[in-house]
Chain A
Amino acid sequence: MATQNTVQPGDVTQRVGVEVIRARGVDVEKLIKMLVANAAAEFASTYYYYTILRMNLAGYEDYKEICEDARLEDRAHWELIVPRIYELGGHLPNSLPEFHDQAGCVAAKLPDPPTVVNILTLLLESERCAIRSWSAVCDMTFGKDPRTYDMAARILNEEIEHEAWFIELLAHERDGKSIPSGHFRRGEPGEAPYSKNRRFYNP
């Protein structure tokens, strides 16, 4: 059984919610750094991957709509992560450039040339980085920190769906192949069926 650090009654300098997961083997400081890096990537992705790239998909209105779903869902992820960072005793950098530099995935600027194939390739690789990053958080928290694990697993579910979308679109556009995602369109833009409909913080 895990040994718990004693938090004295009325002590506001420590959190039982942190000490219990530390006692179970979570490196809380490292976890906070991972969450900040992932939050920065989600924040940047809403900006670069989807806002900028979506603007350059003229003539591909269906692709724009899928980018919009992914953009809004990544924004939902960012908003989901931030409260957990603070709950764990962490914080966001006060400087936006500093925050941007901590992102664990590349800042995907508009490719040159900004062809639909290049944009879809970039989007696909951004989703893959997100899957890897959230899988690392799941690995770190599984069986030890159910609250962070639950959050990471919800986000991971959506990133995996996003990868499937962009595989389908890129295979069609670049290779003339049909590789179905197996999904149907979201009920509304940025529906976020895992990270928003069963949200645990954001109204």
Chain B
Amino acid sequence: MTQERSFRVVLETPEGIRSFCCREEEYIWDASAANGIVLPAICHQGRCLSCAGRLLEGTVEHDHVDAYFAEDKTAGYILLCRALARRDVRILTHQEWKMREHRLAKGLPAPYA
């Protein structure tokens, strides 16, 4: 039987630093909620940008994300509702408006902007 890997997630939130373990097939937003940290989110489809964060360290993979662009990755933005940790990660949360500004500046879809 293969044991599922897990990674350490450190979140820099407006309320301070929080950390928890996240299984490799568990969305970071879901793991966060399971640990009592409710982050912003609406669509849970990787679309609305409400859950946006900034990846400070580590690697994530976006699973089934509707619209995640190369420009987002280059700028360090991630969508926590559809992001899977692939290494230990450190993330700055509550970046929805920053990410929307980034999208608008790049001429990319920015729901709610």
A132 cross-chain contacts in B, Cβ below 8 A: 41-44
Q: How far is the CA of A101 from the CA of B69 in the complex (A)?
A: 14
Task: Look across to chain A and name the residue whose beta carbon is closest to the beta carbon of B47.
Answer: A106
**A128-B112 contact in complex given A106-B66, A107-B66, C-beta closer than 8 Å:** no
Q: How large is the interface on A (under 10, 10 to 19, 20 to 34, 35 or more residues)?
A: 10 to 19
B39-68 contacts to A, CB under 8 A, are 41-48, 66-67
Q: Mark A95-129, 1 if CB is under 8 A from B, else 0.
A: 00000011111110000000000000000010011
Name the prevailing secondary structure of the B interface residues. loop
In the complex, B111 has a CB within 8 A of chain A: yes
Task: Look across to chain B and name the residue whose beta carbon is closest to the beta carbon of A36.
Answer: B112
Q: Are A101 and B109 in contact (CB under 8 A)?
A: yes
Q: How far is the CA of A195 from the CA of B111 in the complex (A)?
A: 24
> What is the CB-to-nearest-CB distance from A35 to chain B, in angstroms, rounded to a whole number?
10
Q: Are A104 and B47 in contact (CB under 8 A)?
A: yes
B43 cross-chain contacts in A, Cβ below 8 A: 104-106, 129, 132-133
**A104-B48 contact in complex given A133-B42, A136-B42, C-beta closer than 8 Å:** yes
Task: Look across to chain A and name the residue whose beta carbon is closest to the beta carbon of B41.
Answer: A132
Q: Which residues of B contact A (CB under 8 A)?
A: 41-48, 66-67, 109-113
